[in-house]
Amino acid sequence: MAAYLKYLAERFALFIATIVISVTVVFIVPRLVPGDPLGAVFLSLAQMGGSMNATELVAEYTRRFGLDKSLWEQYISFLAQLLQGNLGYSIASFPSEVADLLRNSLPWTIGLLTVTTLLSWVIGSLAGAVVGWRGSGSRFLQALVPLALILYATPYYILALLLIFLFAFHWPIFPLSGNYSVTMTPALTLPFIADVLHHAFLPALSIVLVSLGWWFLSMRSLIGALKGEDYILLAEAKGLPERRILWRYAFRNALLPQATGLALSLGHVVGGALITEVIFGYPGLGWLIYNSIKGLDYPVIQGSVLLIILSVAVANFIIDIAYPLIDPRIRQAAPD
């Protein structure tokens, strides 16, 4: 027990160090990008009225966002606000708060990525297990391997563009972009849900197909490696049914590394598939990050990336503390 508590303390210290370093990097990197975050604001205000008023407003923006202070002072102010749970205001969308922008974008990304990640993991793991166990005796199952290799090697944005060309442009079955039709009013009704699913189908399909290849190949390799294990050979010698050996013995043992990969993938769900969301104009977190980078919107960049880092760090921490409880083989061997 003492060994596990020591292990837990070490992992928690690593978790805190990761967060601190990430916060610092997230603050510094956007400010290294050349450009003025208030340039677009100044241009927009100047086009709407007198240049003197626009200049005064931009000066007020500079003061309000602390851009007139030194980098060190900005960093201290950023940390102080962060400790209070305050992510600040968006520069490009002022007076919108960063938390509100994240709250509006996050559900679309989580809904899209969670469903596609779980779906591809389930289908890929089950199919990979069957092919890894019985693939050598079936031409059809053998043909799935090169198909999975092609899917895995294909960048998801290339596949996304291909799907758009085929099913949104050449055959206009699905919409080109957006999350729901402009004529629809958001509500928990069957027509609105159907419209949302209709818009999400192509981006979801592009993510599922590419992810499916990896889960398939990974499980196939794990099952193939387990076929020669002693407990598998013993089960076969006892005359147990092949189906039982596959699902009760081989699959269950191969599931642990697959579950680890799934947990890490779910940790990345918050980050979204940035390029896919940009290609499909899907208003998730990736789309928000893309627009904030274009406009050098420091607070939105910081809030979005911190949210991604936190989700990945939490997922890794949960895996680290759960592993010794799940698998006795990797428990710490230090004496109490």
Domains of the chain (ranges; CATH) run: 1-92+299-336 (no CATH), 105-294 (1.10.3720.10)
Contact status, residue 201 vs residue 229, Cβ threshold 8 Å: no
Quote the longest CA-to-CA distance of the chain. 89
- Alpha-carbon distance of 48 to 286, in angstroms, equals 30
- Alpha-carbon distance of 295 to 301, in angstroms, equals 10
Tokens of 223: 């099952």
Q: What is the pLDDT of residues 268-312, one digit of tens each?
A: 555 556 777 888 888 888 888 888 887 777 788 888 888 887 877
pLDDT for position 54:
55
Q: Which CA distances in Å does 174 have to 151, 162, 168, 280?
A: 22, 13, 5, 11
DSSP 38: T
DSSP-based three-state secondary structure for 85? coil
Q: Is the pLDDT reported for residue 24 higher than 60? A: yes
pLDDT for position 231:
77
Q: What is the pLDDT of residues 110-132, one digit of tens each?
A: 888 888 888 888 888 888 888 88
Q: Which CA distances in Å does 64 have to 38, 60, 201?
A: 12, 6, 42
Predicted confidence band of residue 3 (pLDDT cuts 50, 70, 90)? low
pLDDT for position 336:
44
Q: Which CA distances in Å does 250 have to 139, 231, 238, 242?
A: 22, 9, 15, 11
Residue 167 contacts by C-beta under 8 Å, 6 or more apart in sequence?
173, 174, 202
Taking residues 222-236, report their average pLDDT.
Answer: 79
Q: What is the pLDDT of residues 28-78, one digit of tens each?
A: 877 776 666 666 666 665 555 555 455 666 666 677 666 667 778 778 887
Residue 243 contacts by C-beta under 8 Å, 6 or more apart in sequence?
none
Against a cut of 0.75, is the pTM above it? no
Contact status, residue 117 vs residue 267, Cβ threshold 8 Å: no
Rounded to the nearest integer, the mean pLDDT of the chain is 77
